[in-house]
């Protein structure tokens, strides 16, 4: 029973080595061929990891686990290094300590006393590691959450609220010159009067009924309920359109990956 995984692993390893050799064009080891061998290895590794991740579509398996753990581990380590070298060494140290700047070999830009504040908050956060002093870290958390939420409120009100209200201020009767003119010049052209009026009407009713749907303190019955149901229909139609649009984008990502497998790795397409 335990032979099957060993055989599969051996076959995959053999295929990996075979691919490596083929992608390296069987080059003999000299100064110029080292780059071909290296390139062959990386292309084979990329293809292996791509297939390992795609194998999740069948079921969870050791190759997917390997790819997943490698990806999580490498990315977490990468971000930790980035945080240390760009935030602490890149921004904080050059503004607080000349000695440390010299030690890390980054240019000292002068002492900036206000940079002590983030340093102190950082230390307060690290107090979480102390069993008795863990509560002190709440000061930093309160500052981060409170300050940033407060800063976000005006931005949110401006971009997502007031600007959207003013964008809805549109005349329901576009270029209106009377009912006679409306029928005599009737056209289904996208730039025509009828489509213009219809478009503005849909926007108005959609926004109006959409907001009605998000009333939480009133029972959705009667006319209010009808408007609410119309609102959720509008929302769902919008979500459907958004879904289709985004899926098309995802398919282009899949095409990119398959192009790599078929072209760069297998050489089936140029």
Instruction: Report how many residues bind other proteins under the rule CB under 8 A.
Output: 64
Distance in angstroms (rounded) separating the CA atoms of residues 189 and 195: 7
CB environment 50-69: b (16+ within 10 A), e (fewer): bbbebeeeeeeeebbeebee
Q: How far is the CB of 187 from other proteins (least distance, A)?
A: 22
**Calpha distance 42→57 (Å, rounded):** 24
Q: Would you count residue 199 as binding other proteins (CB under 8 A)?
A: no
Counting contacts by CB under 8 A, is residue 204 touching other proteins?
yes
242 binding other proteins? (CB under 8 A): yes
Is residue 156 involved in binding other proteins (CB under 8 A)?
yes
CB of 263 to other proteins, least distance (A): 22
Q: Is 65 in the site for other proteins (CB under 8 A)?
A: yes
**Quick check: 12 and 63 in contact, CB under 8 A?**
yes
Among 171, 189, 199, 262, binds other proteins (CB under 8 A): 171
Residue 213-232 contact track with other proteins, rule CB under 8 A, x = bound: -xxxxxxx------------
Query: Does 85 engage in binding with other proteins (CB under 8 A)?
Result: no
Question: In this chain, which of 170, 202, 254, 262 binds other proteins, going by CB under 8 A?
Answer: 170
Asked whether the CA dihedral 145, 151, 152, 153 is positive or negative, the reply is positive
- For residue 25, the minimal CB distance to other proteins (Å) is 32
Q: Measuring CA to CA, which residue among 168, 231, 230 is closest to residue 200?
A: 168
Of 13, 153, 202, 251, the residue at the interface with other proteins (CB under 8 A) is 153
Q: What is the helix (H) or strand (E) element at residue 239, kind and residue range? A: helix 222-259
Element containing residue 98 per DSSP (H, E): helix 98-104
Question: Please, which residue, 43 or 53, has the CB nearer to other proteins?
Answer: 53
Residue holding tokens 């931005």? Answer: 155
DSSP labels, 133-199: TGGGHHHHHHHHHHHHHHHHHHHHIIIIIIHHHHHT---SSTT---HHHHHHT----TTSHHHHHHH
C-alpha to C-alpha distance for 81 and 35, rounded to whole angstroms:
28
Considering only residues 123-142, where is the footprint of other proteins by CB under 8 A?
A: 125, 128, 137-138, 141
- Which residues form the interface with other proteins (CB under 8 A)? 53, 56, 59-60, 64-65, 67-68, 71-72, 74-76, 78-79, 109, 125, 128, 137-138, 141, 144-145, 148-149, 151-154, 156-158, 161-163, 165-166, 168-173, 204, 207-208, 211-212, 214-220, 235-236, 238-240, 242-243, 246, 250
């Amino acid at each position: 029973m335990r032979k099957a995984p060993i055989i599969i692993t051996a076959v995959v390893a053999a295929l990996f080595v075979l691919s490596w050799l083929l992608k390296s064009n069987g080059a003999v080891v000299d100064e110029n061929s080292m780059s071909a061998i290296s390139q062959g290895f990386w292309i084979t590794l990329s293809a292996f990891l791509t297939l390992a991740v795609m194998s999740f579509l069948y079921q969870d398996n050791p190759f997917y686990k390997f790819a997943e753990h490698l990806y999580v581990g490498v990315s977490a380590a990468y971000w930790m290094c980035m945080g240390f070298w760009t935030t602490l060494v890149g921004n904080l140290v050059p503004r607080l300590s000349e000695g440390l700047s010299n030690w890390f070999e980054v240019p000292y830009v002068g002492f900036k006393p206000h940079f002590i504040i983030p340093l102190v908050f950082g230390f307060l956060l690290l107090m979480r590691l102390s069993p008795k002093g863990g509560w002190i870290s709440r000061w930093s958390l309160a500052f981060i959450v409170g300050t940033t939420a407060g800063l976000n409120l005006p931005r949110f009100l401006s971009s997502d609220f007031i600007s959207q209200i003013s964008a809805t201020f549109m005349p329901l009767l576009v270029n209106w010159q009377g009912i006679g003119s409306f029928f005599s010049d009737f056209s289904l052209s996208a730039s025509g009067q009828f489509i213009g009026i219809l478009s503005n009407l849909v926007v108005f009713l959609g926004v109006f009924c959409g907001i009605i749907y998000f009333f939480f303190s009133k029972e959705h019955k009667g006319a209010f309920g009808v408007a609410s149901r119309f609102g959720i229909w509008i929302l769902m139609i919008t979500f459907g359109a958004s879904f289709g649009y985004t899926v098309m984008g995802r398919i282009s990502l899949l095409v990119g990956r398959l192009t790599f497998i078929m072209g760069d790795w297998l050489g089936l397409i140029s």
